[in-house]
Amino acid sequence: MIGTATEVAALHRAGRRAFPGFRMTALAATASTQDVVRAAARAGVDAGYSCVAETQSAGRGRQGRRWITAAGEALLCSVLVRVDQPGLGGVPIAAGLAARAAIATSSGYAALLKWPNDLLAGKRKLAGVLCEVEALAPGPGAAVAVGLGVNLRVEFPARVAGASLHVLVPTAPAPAVLFAAYLGELAERLRILQSSGVAGLREEWLTHAAGIGDVVTARSSAGIVTGTAEGIDNDGALLVAAAGGTVRVLAGDVHIGLPPPG
C-alpha cells in the first residue's frame, strides 16, 4: 500500500490541482513505472498521467543502471509531462528541484542536488530522477516520462553509498504523502521552466547544489573532464572550469572531488 485511504485521496486531490489531466495507475509490482508511462504517452494520454508502484523488477536509473527495492521501501513513480522544445533540457533540473522540495516539506530533511539528477544525504544517494523523452507520443510539445525513486525505508549495507529517510528523520513519510507533495512542486517548476527557461530555476538550483566551487570529474561521451564546477547554463548543462577553458557537460556522470582511482 502506498498510503492510507485518506492519504491516497489527498494524493488524487493534489494531482488534479497540479495537472488538470492527472490520472494515476497504482500497481503492487511492475517492471518499470517509466515503461508504463511511456506506453500511455504513446496512446495519447494527457500530461499528468502517473504510475506509482510498490516494487519494480526492472527499474532503471541513468546510464542503464538498475534501481531495485523491496515492496514498501521506496517511492517509485513516474509522471508524464509535456514541454515545449526550448525547455526540454531543463526538465531534469525542474524535476530534481521538485523532488528536493517535496522531501523537505514532507519529511523535514534538506537534501542536496548533484548534477544532473541525484539527491544526496551527505555523500550518499537518497533519491534519483530519470527523464526519458517518448518520441512516438502524439500531441503538442515533447512528451517526457519523469521517473523518481526515493529511499524511504531501505537498509543499506555499510559498503553501499545509499541513504534512506527513515534513518535521517524520526518518521519517513508514506509514499502517497511524498508523491502528493512532489506533484505540486513539479507542476510549479515546470511552469517556471516554460515561462523563464532554466534561467528561472538557476538560483534555486545553485542554492541547493552539491559540489559547486569544488573540483569535479565529469565522465561523458565526450571524454573525462576535471575542473571546478561553476554552475549550469541555459540548457541545463554543467559548466566546468578546466585547464583549457570552461567545458559544457550535457550528459554523463559527475564525481565530486579528485578523480577516483582508475
Per-residue pLDDT tens, the chain, 262 aa: give them: 799 999 999 999 999 999 999 999 999 999 999 999 999 999 999 999 999 999 988 765 544 455 556 777 999 999 999 999 889 999 999 999 999 999 999 999 999 999 988 999 999 999 999 999 999 999 889 999 999 999 999 999 988 999 999 999 999 999 999 999 999 999 999 999 999 999 999 999 999 999 999 999 988 776 888 999 999 999 999 999 998 889 899 888 898 876 554 5
Query: How far is it, in rounded angstroms, from Cα 245 to Cα 226?
Result: 11
Give the pTM. Answer: 0.93
CB < 8 Å & 24+ apart, contacts of 63-71: 63/253, 67/128, 67/149, 69/149, 69/151, 69/154, 71/28, 71/29
